[in-house]
Amino acid sequence: MNPTTRAPDYADTVRTPEELGRDAIGRTEAQVIGTSPIERTAIEREEELFTINMGPHHPATHGVLRLLVSLEGEVVRDLKPVMGYVHTGIEKSCEDKSYWKAIPFIERMDYLAYYSNMAAFCGAAETLLDLEIPPRAAWLRILHLELNRIHSHLVGLGTSALDLGAISMFWYCFRERDTILDLFEMSSGQRMHTRYFQVGGVAEDIPVGFARKVREFCALMPGRIAEYEALLDHNEIFLQRMKDVGIVPRERLLELGVTGPLLRAAGEPWDLRKVEHALPYADFEFDVPIGTVGDNWDRYRVRLAEMRESVRIIEQAVDGLPEGSWIADERHVVLPPRHELATSMEALIQHFKLVTEGFRVPPGEAYFPVEGPRGEYGVFLVADGSAKPARVHMRDPSFVNLQALREMCVGGYVADLIANLAMLDPILGGIDR
Amino acid sequence: MPDAPGLELIAHEINSRHEGAIVGTAFEHGQAVLLADPGLIRETLGFLRDEPAHAYRFLASVHGADYLPAAPRFAVHYELLNMPRVERLRVKALLADPGDDGLPELDSVVDLFPTADFQEREAHDFFGIVFRGHPDLRRILMPEDYVGWPQRRDFPIGGEPVIFTATEDTVPGWTR
Amino acid sequence: MEVERTKLRGLSPLDRPRSPAELRVRQLRARDMLRGDLEGADLDEYVESRVLTTTLERAQSWARGNSLFPATFGLACCAIEMMSMVSARYDTSRFGAEVFRASPRQADMLILSGRVSIKMAPVVRRIYDQMLEPKWVLSMGACSSSGGMFANYAVVQGADKFLPVDIHIPGCPPRPEALIYGILKLQRKVFGDPDLGWRERYRAGGTEEGRRPWKAGALPVERVGSAPAAGIVTGHGQPGAAQLDAPVGHPQLTGHEARDAYEEAEEDEPAAGPRPAVGWRDDA
């Protein structure tokens, strides 16, 4: 582009790569290092900065994240994440599958939030189809999304505490996680990657006894959360490693596009469950916990409080579950009921057509966001009128939130880097997709 | 979301400030889309971000797309969000394919929206879209020595063929 | 190996003496034995009741199979199920495989838990090469066994394309029980002490670190930002496939040559161009 055609008000904001590359929060070198001669001589000797490579095989990076960390003594001076080590090409593979066969691929992106992934994808497809899901399906989706949120926070909490040296949290968190996975297995037959949500509703109604088990879980879980608090909240080591570590101001987080518990811990009450009404969260009574300082301690407390709120939502969902069909009665999209296959030729043909070819989606584009355990999961879907999507893109919160890691860590100790990364809770499958 | 007349007003307002910045609007499935001139994308996004009446200050997502048979082949989408009003607006910059002699180019918006850093790198990695002025435009997910833009629609999906009885004679060397 | 579990006749050292007198009798017999006073049938009976004979190799493989140390190495979804394998419900320490080791030097079992991308494959191979013999590889889940559902440009279609895999576990992801079953199968294999000649096909005979051409302490660090700004670099695009034909390891330079090549490469940085002959990646 010819630079003279540019309007003058934004022309001067273009900065050269050198200017931008110095510091992500825009500080000049003099502001970071200082200008007094003593400070400069201490830093300017290049060999004082020691660059170490962390990962991709490192027990504390929650996967195959690789970090290039520049250290000055024990203080982190720069940090550069290198990712792509589990890049799976899922977005490309989805373009080769029909819509309902793409759901299992989408699930495997963020492998701790598979229900959120599915909800975003199915929601985008339903937007393009102008399909309304029945209330029972919507409530079942909410029920499973909230169970999934607790599950994800439990794994995040257990592994984070493990990184900080508290191994017993790992055992307790995985005990409750297995309880949740039993529920998933009961409703869908799989522990992980259940493919329970379908375009038009959910795959199957909940089985007999599921509601009772969910109620048992809801009765159990608040006590268990209190146990975690008893273990960690007064643990001096944990407190010292969490409090006032990794503070990033709220405005900066918003600029970086951070969503989810990280943003709420900094005091911004932004929760898609409260503002977007694609799923009937408005029928539920729950609070959005927010932090005040925005340090790792707030992030931990926000996650625990969110687990409590999710338990509240699950209780309301299972108590007020509407009667009716669990999937929309749209035969051009939804598989016919199983019992009709034995009696109706039309149903059999329809089933065969849907399974082999899939349903067609009218041309269009849609972006559908869902609030997941780590923030905004958004699927951008382009349909070209055929039975396969033309483009599927997942806006994954781990990928976007990872940009905040540098600002959380620079200036702190390398030991705090581990705590920051644990509380950032990235899922590498979601980052690399 | 702004409604359809509101979208036209926004388009008109941007066009009166920056001539030709918006080439069209679309409103489908309740989602508002502004078709922007890629040469003036910084002006458009900067206007939407800084104008107090709009204040789309949160950039939720940046992603590329390849509409292969269509004439402007590539597009970069910016999902803008106004948090207080909970309004989403998609800005779509259509880019022509320069063919074999180059890559489609677009101005980077990293200094307006720092969150675009990784996501522009991702669009560059998968579609070969060059973001002018990006501080560190390298491949992000693929290996750095990888050749090709894997998510373009004319890039083969790769993998290995699965051999069934019906297809085994199409696999060279299998039945020999 | 099969361990005799039948109750040994007579006075087994595992039996607690039932009375002080019996204890005294045992002590006296042991004293006689040590003095060499026991002879003939008495000696036979004493030895039979106390000693279990086997070969050293079998004892060794029995010990190895019952204390497999996995490497702490998670790739994708399966890593979560791998973690729950050590959790309280599944508790793989019942089978001696719970001690996860962060360093590949201390581990003897690599669980490939998830999809292996073309960017990760050289890293996995390097970790495998860093493990000391005897080492075993479990491929957990469909992705690392065969590429699974991800038949596309980014995923290596089966980890046994670049390293020898001993056990494949099906599932997406496999349940922790399935993983434990795979570990039990691997134990069987270790107990059997198989001839590992088949690993030669993968050139996986030993630890490759000894063939490093440079001296200790001169390990090059990959430079940040060595690619040109436009991000277009030359090179091969499919390391997963190309690697099979290329010899594993580094060109056999003598120490002096390698040192020169390394210093040369360092001076050239960050110029664009092909990677120097000595790089950190095995496929360089």
| pLDDT tens digits, B35-89 | 999 989 998 999 999 888 888 999 999 999 999 888 888 999 999 999 888 899 9
pLDDT-based confidence at C260, cuts 50/70/90? low
Q: Residue A288: is it exposed, middle or buried by C-beta count within 10 angstroms (0-12/13-18/19+)?
A: middle
Name the residue with tokens 């019952």.
Answer: C66
Whole-angstrom distance, CA of residue A172 vs CA of residue A157:
10
What was the pLDDT predicted at C242? 38
pLDDT-based confidence at A146, cuts 50/70/90? very high
DSSP A348-375: HHHHHHHHHT-----SEEEEEEEEETTE
Query: In chain C, what residues touch B136 (CB-CB under 8 Å)?
Result: 225
Query: Is C115 inside a domain boundary?
Result: yes
Same domain for C199 and C101?
yes
Would the CB atoms of C88 and A89 count as touching at under 8 Å?
Answer: no
Residue C20: helix, strand or coil by DSSP?
helix
DSSP A259-276: -THHHHHTT----HHHH-
Q: C121-159, pLDDT tens digit by residue?
A: 888 888 888 888 788 999 999 989 988 888 888 898 888
Nearest to C151 among B137, B145, B159 (CB): B159
Would the CB atoms of C237 and B148 count as touching at under 8 Å?
Answer: yes
Residue from A96, A97, A367, A379 whose CB has the most chain B CBs within 10 Å, to mutate:
A367
Return the residue of B nearest to A123 by Cα: B29
CB A249 within 8 A of CB A294: yes
Query: Is C277 inside a domain boundary?
Result: no
What was the pLDDT predicted at A59? 76
Same domain for C153 and C30?
no
Per-residue pLDDT at C271 exceeds 50: no
Same domain for C253 and C171?
no
Same domain for C128 and C193?
yes
How many Cα atoms are found within 13 Å in the side-chain-facing hemisphere of B50?
A: 11
Q: C134: cis peptide before it, omega within 30°?
A: yes
Query: Is C110 inside a domain boundary?
Result: yes
Query: In chain B, what residues touch A96 (CB-CB under 8 Å)?
Result: 157
Same domain for C127 and C112?
yes
How many Cα atoms are found within 13 Å in the side-chain-facing hemisphere of C52?
A: 15
Whole-angstrom distance, CA of residue C138 vs CA of residue C104:
14
CB B86 within 8 A of CB B80: no
> What does the pLDDT average to over B117-126?
92
What was the pLDDT predicted at C220? 46
Q: A262-321, pLDDT tens digit by residue?
A: 999 998 899 999 888 888 999 999 999 999 988 899 999 999 999 999 999 999 999 999
Find, among B72, B89, B80, B79, the residue nearest to B26 by Cα. Answer: B89
Structural domains of chain B ordered from first start: 4-170 (3.30.460.80)
Query: Is C4 inside a domain boundary?
Result: no
* Residue-wise burial string across A348-373, b where 16 or more C-beta atoms lie within 10 A, e elsewhere: eebbeebeeebbbbeebbbbbbbbbb
Pairing of strands B130-132, A364-372: unpaired
Would the CB atoms of C225 and B138 count as touching at under 8 Å?
Answer: yes
Nearest to A93 among C123, C150, C229 (CB): C150
B137 touches chain C (CB under 8 A): yes
Would the CB atoms of A89 and B158 count as touching at under 8 Å?
Answer: yes
What are residue A391's phi and psi, to 5 degrees? -160, 130
What was the pLDDT predicted at A5? 42
Same domain for C94 and C201?
yes
The CATH number of the domain holding residue C97 is 3.40.50.12280
What was the pLDDT predicted at B175? 53
Handedness of CA C94, C95, C96, C97 (dihedral sign): negative
Nearest to C224 among A68, A86, A428 (CB): A68
At B14, list the tokens.
């941007």
Per-residue pLDDT at C233 exceeds 50: no
Name the residue with tokens 């189809």.
Answer: A129
Query: In chain A, what residues touch B134 (CB-CB under 8 Å)?
Result: 17
Whole-angstrom distance, CA of residue A383 vs CA of residue A393:
12
At C149, list the tokens.
């559902």
Neighbours of chain B (3+ CB pairs under 8 A): A, C
Query: Chain C closest CA to B118's CA: distance in Å?
Result: 14
CB A44 within 8 A of CB A34: no
Neighbours of chain C (3+ CB pairs under 8 A): A, B
Whole-angstrom distance, CA of residue C222 vs CA of residue B111:
28
Same domain for C168 and C87?
yes
Same domain for C116 and C162?
yes
Query: In chain B, what residues touch C244 (CB-CB under 8 Å)?
Result: none
Nearest-5° Cα angle at A149, A376 to A91: 45
Percent of all residues in chain A with a pLDDT value above 70, rounded to a whole number: 89
Domain of residue C25, residue span: 9-53
More confidently predicted of B133 and C9: B133
C 180-199 residues inside an 8 A Cβ radius of B: none
Would the CB atoms of A130 and B110 count as touching at under 8 Å?
Answer: no
Would the CB atoms of B115 and A6 count as touching at under 8 Å?
Answer: no
Question: Phi/psi zone of residue B169: left (φ > 0), alpha (ψ -120 to 50 degrees), beta?
Answer: alpha
- Distance of alpha carbon A312 from the chain centroid: 21
Nearest to C150 among A56, A89, A192 (CB): A89
Return the residue of B nearest to A258 by Cα: B115
DSSP C40-65: HHHHHHHHHHH-----HHHHHHHHHH
Would the CB atoms of B115 and A92 count as touching at under 8 Å?
Answer: no
Query: Chain A closest CA to B174's CA: distance in Å?
Result: 25
Last residue of a domain, one of C174, C208, C242: C208
Same domain for C133 and C119?
yes
pLDDT-based confidence at C274, cuts 50/70/90? very low
At C70, list the tokens.
């996995």
Nearest to C153 among B138, B150, B162 (CB): B150
CB A172 within 8 A of CB A162: no
Query: Chain A closest CA to B163's CA: distance in Å?
Result: 18
Last residue of a domain, one of C193, C208, C223: C208
Q: What's chain B's average pLDDT?
A: 87
CB B145 within 8 A of CB B163: no
**How many residues does the structure list for chain A?**
433
Query: Chain A closest CA to C51's CA: distance in Å?
Result: 40
B 22-81 residues inside an 8 A Cβ radius of C: none
Q: What's chain A's average pLDDT?
A: 86
Per-residue pLDDT at C50 exceeds 60: yes
Per-residue pLDDT at C216 exceeds 60: no
C178 touches chain A (CB under 8 A): no
* Number of domains into which chain C is organized: 3
CB C62 within 8 A of CB C148: no
Return the residue of A nearest to C114 by Cα: A86
Would the CB atoms of A155 and C152 count as touching at under 8 Å?
Answer: no
Same domain for C121 and C154?
yes
Would the CB atoms of C80 and A155 count as touching at under 8 Å?
Answer: yes
pLDDT-based confidence at A364, cuts 50/70/90? very high
Would the CB atoms of C154 and A87 count as touching at under 8 Å?
Answer: yes
Per-residue pLDDT at A15 exceeds 60: no
Nearest-5° Cα angle at C224, C222 to C230: 125
Query: In chain C, what residues touch A112 (CB-CB under 8 Å)?
Result: 80
What was the pLDDT predicted at C159? 87
Report how many helices (DSSP H) and strands (DSSP E) chain C contains, helices first: 9, 3
DSSP C104-168: GGG-SEEEEES--BTTTHHHHHHHHHHSPSS-EEEEEHHHHHH-TT--STTB-S-GGGTS--SEE
pLDDT-based confidence at A393, cuts 50/70/90? very high
C150 touches chain B (CB under 8 A): yes
What are residue B107's phi and psi, to 5 degrees? -80, 140
At A262, list the tokens.
């990280």
Nearest to B160 among C151, C154, C229 (CB): C151
Same domain for C94 and C139?
yes
Would the CB atoms of A257 and B33 count as touching at under 8 Å?
Answer: no
Whole-angstrom distance, CA of residue A39 vs CA of residue A34:
6
What was the pLDDT predicted at B20? 86
What was the pLDDT predicted at A398? 92
Nearest to B136 among A21, A254, A276 (CB): A21
What was the pLDDT predicted at C212? 44
C79's enclosing H/E stretch is helix C77-85
DSSP lists the bridge partners of residue B59 as: B80
Query: Chain B closest CA to C263's CA: distance in Å?
Result: 22
Query: Is C222 inside a domain boundary?
Result: yes
Would the CB atoms of B86 and A393 count as touching at under 8 Å?
Answer: no
Query: Is C195 inside a domain boundary?
Result: yes
Cα dist from C190 to A164, A402, B153, C66, C72, whole Å: 35, 42, 48, 9, 20
Query: Is C89 inside a domain boundary?
Result: yes
Query: Is C123 inside a domain boundary?
Result: yes
Return the residue of B nearest to A87 by Cα: B141
What are residue C246's phi and psi, to 5 degrees? -75, 145
Find, among B100, B118, B96, the residue nearest to B108 by Cα. Answer: B118
Same domain for C23 and C83?
no
pLDDT-based confidence at A329, cuts 50/70/90? confident
> What does the pLDDT average to over B158-167?
70
Structural domains of chain A ordered from first start: 1-44 (no CATH), 90-330+360-432 (1.10.645.10)
C149 touches chain B (CB under 8 A): no
